[in-house]
Every structure is written in C-alpha cells, then in structure tokens.
Structure 1
C-alpha cells in the first residue's frame, strides 16, 4: 500500500482491519494509527516446504519485519519437501496453519474441490493483483475465484548456445518449418537438433504440452487435463502426426530413454546438440563460466495465428480454509507479496516472478523469461501438475514410449483413454 493511501486508511479506521503501511520502505505499525494489532490475532502460523536454505532465510527475515511492525507473532514450521506432500493431506483437515506453501494448477484444485483452501478473491481485489499477474492469475483461479498467490515459476521453452548459433549463422526457429530446416543444418554440422533425456519421463510430457498448446490452444489442452476430452479425440491427431514427423526426422537424441535431463543438458553445453526444451534450471547442466552463453526462445508456432500459450509452472502459497487467523494471514501475504519482498524471496532459487512489476533479476535468463511472458496470452502449468496424479503417471509413460516407438501410437492412446475413463469416471 502506498503512502498516499494513509489518509484514507486513517479516516476509515473504524471499518478497516488493515494494520500497517509501507512508507519509504519502512513499516508503520497499525498501533501508530490507533488500531490495535490484536485485531489481526496474536499469531500467524506458516508451514513451508522450502528446501533452499537461503530462501528460508529470506522468508524468516520478512516474517520478522512483519512481526516487529504489526505486533503479530509469525511462526514458521519448515518440512521436508517430499514429506510435506503427504502431511498436507492431513493438516488441512486437522491442525491447519494460517498459511501453507503448495503448487498451483491441478494440485491446488484438488484441495479447492474438497473446500480446504480459502477463497482469497477479496485480497486479490483489494491489492489489485490481477493487474500485475496477467496470465499467472489463472494458475490460482477456479470458477472465477482465487485460492492462493502464485510464487516463483518456470517458463518452459527452447534453449540454445549463443556462441554456437552465432558461429553457424543460425537463428532460433519461429515456426515448426524453421525447426525442421534447422534440424537438417544441425545434422550437417554433426549435431543433434534437440537434446532429449526421458529417463525420468517428464521431459517428453513437456514436448507434448508445447505441441498441443501450439496446435489446439489452451482451452482444449486444459479440457484434456481435466479429463473432459478423450485421448482418442480427432483434435489430437495432428499433434501426434507432427510429433511423429519430428521423431522420424531424427531430430531428437538417440537412446534418450537411457539419459536423464542433466545428461541431455550437458550435451547441449558440450555443443553436441543445438537446442533443448526445458526451463531456466538448464543452467545447472553448464559450467558456471559458460552460463552466459545460454539463450531462450519460445517454442515455435505450429498452427498459424494461434495465440501464444505456454507452460509456466508455478508454486503457490495458500490460506487453509480451517486456518485460525485468516485476517492475519491476508495481511502477511500483502506484505510478503510486495514486489521487492517477493523478488528477494524468489531470487535465491532463480525463479521467474509472476508479478510484472518485480525488480530485474541478477540472472539474465530470468529477465528473458519475464520479457517473454509479456507476450503470452495464457498459461498452463505442466502435464504432471495440470492433470490427476494417476493420469499423469500413465501419460508420462505413454509419451516416453511414443518418442521411442511412435508406431505404437494407437495402443498408447487407447491405454491413456481407458485410464482417463477410469480416473475421471467419464
């Protein structure tokens, strides 16, 4: 909240529950405005799943600043990332904190459907978040209502080495035809066009997402993710036709089922491949002194005129429906989510901020992603975040198998369709 809003807050203090302001970067306690901090409750409890120690430190610093200014104690309980995935199913029902970290997309929707996350549309409206979140707001929206705040994200796309492309005189492909043409140039240079490692299976699903979003658009893609569309629907035929064409053109790494994403990223770093479909963490496959050579390009257009939709996988933070101090939770979120604070929190993990008004990052790949997001019409999460977990498991297996044996397409899709009917009771 800006300094100019102080007068309006003071004049309406009897009806307001907001307790503090931000003025010149310094918090002013609600007490100074004649509004006792007890109105927010005595404590805000948070359960986090943050594995990054530096990021935990930033969260604790912000909590301490909020506590000092508001008089509200903030208690943070950090859990192991994997253990948290199981624990949240219990604590949301019994013993809920006031705030918890989680994932957006389908994983959030599962708890919304069970009425375990609070509707915070009031906070969205009050802080005008939609004006700075753009497509990212959709990641925490169900039936027009918001149930969390999106945090750091991963923007997926094609990455390449700037020095290699400059040396070869290549340009990043803007259409699928460009991609096929670049594939021939790469082969002539003794390189694989797309470095691929599907040992963990999920990289193949990312390729499916990109192609389906480019051919069918966001609405049909989400319909498939929600189990409302068949895997044998005719709309998916051109997706697998084009994907098979790319596989048969030998554009992907051979024996990719035996390699993980890290080995695939290393092949790009070693100039054995021209490009790779991944997110910004690809830099961890490069020696630190070569990371400045990494460049980002959106996945190329397939259906001419189709609006640009991307996978922008976002973590999120939520107010549980059974929280004891929902007002205090909202006020902490309002402070935590200010551009400078959110940016400091995300910088430690090189995550893409969902807010368009966050300060520039020290990481040029993050800044490139932020600029690219300004031209995105809408976003999905990622296949294994957007659909039911059991459906995702079978989908990951199927897409990996298709890339290795495209001739098994019919059997693969029939199996996925049978799985969809069973899981979504279609």
Structure 2
C-alpha cells in the first residue's frame, strides 16, 4: 500500500495562519469503515498542508444518516455543506434536477479534466453534456472464476453467448454448478438483468427500462428474459442456493462446487489470500456484436453544493479531488479503482485488470439499484429470484414487471423533484464503500 507518504501528514509541521484568517469549508462524507473515515481526514489534511489558508471540516455520517442528509437537502433543508460525496446514478441526477449542486463546466475546462477522465466517466457525471461532479472511485462487475479449475478441465474463457452456453453445459455435465445464485441477497440477481440488457439493448434503452420510461412488453425486451431463461434451462443455477446470501455462497466457490460468479469486485476483499491469487476475471460475453461494450461500474462522486459555489476554497478543494494524488490516496485505502486515467492500480484484488476493463468500455452505468428507485429495484429483485427458481414464466415475469412499472412510475408526477424511494437503498448491492 502506498501509505508511507500519507502518515507523514500527521507529523507535518508548518506555520499555519491563525484560525481567524482561515477560509473554512465543510466536506460531507459517508464512511462505511474506519479505514474510510481515516482516508477522508487524510485527504483533508493533505489539502490543508498544500493550502494553509484553508481549513477543511470533515462532516462524517453513516451511510444511512448521509442518505437522509441528502434526501433532506433535496427536500429544501439548508445544509452548511460545501462539498458532498454522492453516488452516480439516481442520487446524482436528483441533485442535478433539484438545482442543489453547481455545474462544473468552467472548472472542468479550466483544468482540462478531459485529459484526466475518460469520455464514459465524464458522461456518467454529466447531464445534457454538462459535468456536475468529480468522479472519485469505482469498481468493475463481471465474471470471476477459479483459474486452476479451468486449467484442470481444459476450459477457456467465453467471448460470446454460444461459447458461454457451451461452457455452462460442460460444467453441468461435470456436476459442477456453473453459476452463483444467492436469492437471500435478492439484489444480486439484478446484475443479470443489467448485463443481459446492456448486451442486447444498449445503454440508453437499459437506463430507460430501469427508470420506468420504457415498457417491458416489447419483443426486444422480452428477448432479454428469453436469454436468461436459456441459462435456467441449461441448469446454470442451483435452486438449493435460493435462500443463501451472497457471502454464504462463497464457500461453494472456494471448494469449486460453483465455477463462476457474476459479481462486483468488492467480494474479493472477503476471499482468503490463498484462494484470491487463483481467481480470474472475464467480462460478460458479447451477445449482439453490433452494440458497443457497456459496463456496470458503481461510482462515488463529489459535488459542489450551491452553498460551496460562492467559496473559492471549495472550488479549489474540488480541483484537488480531481488530482491523481488525491484519487490514488482514496483508491488505495478503500480497495477501489481511481477514475483518473493515469492511476497506477496496485497489484491486488484484480484492480489493474478492472482499470483496463472499465477504461476500455464504450460507456458506463451504475448498478440497477443506483439507477432505479428503491421501490422498483426491490420489487424487480424479488421477481428475478422467483424467475430463477422457475416460479415465473417469461411472460408472467414481464407482466408483473410492467404492472410494477405502471404503479411505480406512470402516475401524476409529484411536486418534488425527488423520485419516490430514490434514496431508500443503502447501496446494499455493492459491498464496502
């Protein structure tokens, strides 16, 4: 870990200006661990060391409290916060729509941030081509497998749907469950819908579906579930795992009783060292080769509130958060990938592979429950579990999803810009943040 330089901050001595002469800004964060709490304070200290006339107050709240803080802010409560951490997807777009955060076009242009961040990551933090956030850190979703198992059985990583189905068949014939299914963590099934939709429909139609703007009853959407049904018919999942959580399923993967896992990279932090070195990664296979390659990459972002917009110190802190120095510090501490193009990923947790994978994508989305409302994502997850358990046919699943979409989204728009249930989810799908 590149931490030696960080701890020098704790012994850094300089002639600081008096508190009365310091500009003070507030940085609102939501650490989910002691390590995250530590790194946010270290970021503030590093910035203060470079800018002695500025004091950064770190306002830390739990994930749940921070969620409520943002929701209250969207509803009109005044907050003495200048820079705010948020999630990409619905949360960011609700902040944009509420006009509670400041566009960053001038800052982005002045500091040539196009040279620091890829076009897909800029698109993720923008609306109508206007950037509103500094992307901080993200991680990949895809398939994880045991390299020794594949080598022993002479298996190769699939690149397209036919070879993926053939691999599923081979594993089933060898009495190895091909894919993970943890119905006890129903959110984990949302990844299947995400990737099948991205590979068959593309990014814009996927986003329209999860946001309730597109009907589930069209033939092309039905094809998403037909492909998913193929996996079920080819015995890719074991219904005996239907009540297990995502972490309870891991020992089956360790013992090679499950061959592949569609998962977020966060799970590797829970894998024993002796097994982690044997874990490989491959992207979700191509289905329609005419479509660009889109990927799911849950992303943390920093936004400048309307309160901070009038403070030059807050603008300067936002620029600092876009530096390679700050992004590397954060990513190395929390085991994610810095969004900065020049980030040199550490050789652990497949971060280097993940960096290349995401930077080479044609576009990014957040996970289903970051793109959709809580009511819709929770309802869809429960239906997807029932579908994998073969309790619902393709047509019945579609009918239920469409009815839920109609009930959740097709109704008189509320006066508030805050989507119903948009922040009730605790980022439960994405592991440690």
TM-score, normalization by structure 2: 0.85
Q: CA deviation at 1:262?
A: 1.1
Alignment of 1:15-26 (within 5 A): none
Alignment of 1:327-342 (within 5 A): 327-342=312-327
Q: CA deviation at 1:325?
A: 4.7
TM-score, normalization by structure 1: 0.86
Alignment of 1:209-220 (within 5 A): 209-220=194-205
Cα 1:421–1:290 change in 2 (3 A) is same
- CA RMSD of superposed structures (Å): 2.3
Q: Which 10-residue stretch deviates more, 282-291 or 341-350?
A: 282-291
Distance 2:286 2:253 in 1: 23
Q: CA deviation at 1:324?
A: 6.4
Question: Structure 2: which 5+ runs fail to align?
Answer: 1-16, 412-433
Match in the other structure for 1:56: 37
Question: Structure 1: which 5+ runs fail to align?
Answer: 1-35
Cα 1:192–1:326 change in 2 (3 A) is farther
Distance 1:327 1:150 in 2: 20
Describe the superposition over 1:45-72 as per-residue Cα deviations: whole angstroms up to 9, x where unpaired.
1111012322332222221232233211
Match in the other structure for 2:50: 69
Contact kept, 8 Å, 2:183 with 2:245, in 1: the verdict is yes
Match in the other structure for 1:44: 25
Q: CA deviation at 1:297?
A: 0.2
Q: Secondary structure at the match of 1:348?
A: helix
- How many equivalent pairs are there? 392
Distance 1:37 1:360 in 2: 39
Match in the other structure for 2:65: 83
Q: CA deviation at 1:190?
A: 2.1
Q: Whose helix fraction is larger, Structure 1's or Structure 2's?
A: 1
Describe the superposition over 1:166-207 as per-residue Cα deviations: whole angstroms up to 9, x where unpaired.
111111111111111111221232211112212121111101
Q: Which 10-residue stretch deviates more, 48-57 or 208-217?
A: 48-57
Q: 1:195 aligns with which of 177, 180, 183?
A: 180
Match in the other structure for 1:127: 111
Distance 2:40 2:270 in 1: 28
Distance 1:110 1:360 in 2: 31
Contact kept, 8 Å, 2:142 with 2:283, in 1: the verdict is yes
Q: Secondary structure at the match of 2:330?
A: helix
Alignment of 1:177-196 (within 5 A): 177-196=162-181
Instruction: Kindly indicate whether residue 337 of structure 2 is the aligned counterpart of residue 355 of structure 1.
Output: no
Q: Secondary structure at the match of 1:258?
A: coil
Contact kept, 8 Å, 1:319 with 1:326, in 2: the verdict is no
Describe the superposition over 1:356-409 as per-residue Cα deviations: whole angstroms up to 9, x where unpaired.
211222415111101112321001111111122222222212222221126433
